[in-house]
């Protein structure tokens, strides 16, 4: 697919970093050559588990590694901004876990630094690159839905209440919206763009972060999006795109490899089953490799300006939710 595999440096050693490196083994577009942590012990444990040769006891050391082409920023949300900029200023391309940052101001700064240095940057919204989403984009591009009227999506997971767990910890960027709600918000953005009107309602968890948030977006086209996220229960995690001529139903979990069905107003449904190896994160790694091979500094499937827009939308949602609390 590319002239030579790109060399990944993994910044962070948590669960999402493990999933990414595991899935990276399913493709020949790239290889993890280095890992960085805040301590030598965790870097060594991660490197030993995944057969990574270079292990660094600091993020500064990782981004200075001459054998690394791209840094995958896989630390908690509040650390995305500083570490992405650390990597960019060291001359490294970046793939930054979602949500891209904690807020739109931080997102704008990452994009500014990347563009000033002519480096590739992308939000690691892995859903965008999955096979079933490619099917959805094709149906939308061909206009088979007619006029899009509505988008619905939910993402709810149950978590035991634990003040030290990152989803409940304010200092780790906890809350339903940033961790779970980013998927429905990004899905709606992919289909309908940036909303012109936003109404939101939220309920706090015992630590003060949002435990459950519901959103209603309005668009200049007249379409609407109804989106929900919660830390309190496992929801269906499905999505739908409803048009005047047909609708698309996305089975749960809509954000992971899954089955999609095109249901026309007249005629028989068309069902496309998911055939997938691994979790699905290797598709975004392939996209990074394709873009670098082409000399691009961003991806048309997850543009930087859209990542900023998504953060602006979530900023507004949180402000609205606080006002309506």
Residue 199 tokens, joined: 């109404």
Q: Parallel, antiparallel, or unpaired for β 93-97 and 246-250? A: unpaired
Contacts 24+ apart (CB under 8 A), 186-190: 186/98, 186/125, 186/127, 186/128, 186/310, 187/127, 187/151, 187/153, 187/239, 187/254, 187/255, 188/151, 188/153, 188/217, 188/225, 188/227, 189/306, 189/309, 189/310, 189/313, 190/128, 190/133, 190/137
Q: Which of these is catalytic: 55, 77, 98, 247?
A: 98
What one-character-per-residue DSSP string does 118-158 give? Answer: T--EEEE-GGGGSHHHHHHHHHHHTTTT-SEEEEEEEEE-B
Distance CA 15, CA 59 (A): 17
- Looking at residue 3, the DSSP 8-state letter turns out to be S
Q: What is the dihedral of CA 164, 169, 175, 180, to 10 degrees?
A: -50
Q: Which helix (H) or strand (E) holds 171?
A: none
Q: Which helix (H) or strand (E) holds 272?
A: strand 270-272
Backbone angles phi, psi at 135, to 5 degrees: -65, -45
The structure tokens 């960019």 sit at 88
Is residue 98 among the annotated active site residues? yes
Q: Which helix (H) or strand (E) holds 262?
A: strand 260-264
Distance CA 96, CA 114 (A): 12
Distance CA 43, CA 23 (A): 19
Distance CA 44, CA 113 (A): 31
- Residues, the chain: 325
Q: Which residues are catalytic?
A: 98
């Amino acid at each position: 697919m590319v002239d030579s595999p790109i060399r990944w440096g993994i910044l962070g050693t948590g669960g999402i970093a493990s999933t990414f490196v595991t899935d990276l083994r399913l493709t020949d577009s790239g290889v993890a050559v280095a890992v960085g942590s805040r301590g030598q012990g965790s870097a060594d444990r991660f490197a030993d588990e995944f057969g990574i040769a270079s292990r660094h006891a600091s993020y500064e050391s990782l981004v200075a590694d001459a054998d690394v082409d791209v840094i995958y920023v896989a630390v908690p949300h509040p650390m995305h901004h500083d570490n992405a900029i650390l990597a960019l200023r060291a001359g490294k391309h970046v793939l930054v876990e979602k949500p891209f940052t904690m807020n739109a101001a931080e997102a704008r700064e990452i994009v500014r630094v990347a563009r000033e240095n002519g480096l590739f940057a992308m939000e690691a919204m892995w859903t965008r690159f999955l096979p079933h989403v490619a099917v959805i984009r094709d149906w939308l591009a061909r206009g088979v839905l007619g006029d899009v009227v509505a988008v619905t999506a939910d993402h709810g997971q149950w978590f035991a209440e634990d003040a030290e767990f990152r989803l409940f910890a304010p200092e780790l960027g906890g809350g339903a919206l940033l961790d779970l709600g980013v998927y429905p918000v990004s899905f709606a953005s992919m289909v309908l763009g940036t909303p012109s009107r936003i109404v939101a309602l939220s309920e706090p968890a015992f630590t003060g972060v949002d435990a459950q948030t519901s959103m209603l977006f309005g668009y200049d086209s007249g379409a609407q999006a109804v989106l929900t996220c919660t830390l309190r229960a496992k929801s269906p995690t499905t999505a739908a795109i409803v048009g005047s001529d047909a609708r698309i139903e996305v089975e749960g979990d809509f954000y992971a490899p899954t089955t999609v069905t095109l249901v026309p107003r007249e005629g028989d449904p068309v069902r496309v089953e998911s055939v997938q190896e691994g979790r699905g994160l290797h598709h975004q790694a392939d996209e990074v490799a394709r873009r670098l091979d082409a000399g691009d500094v961003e991806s048309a499937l997850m543009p930087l300006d859209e990542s900023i827009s998504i953060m602006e939308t979530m900023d507004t949602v949180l402000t609205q939710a606080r006002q309506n609390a």
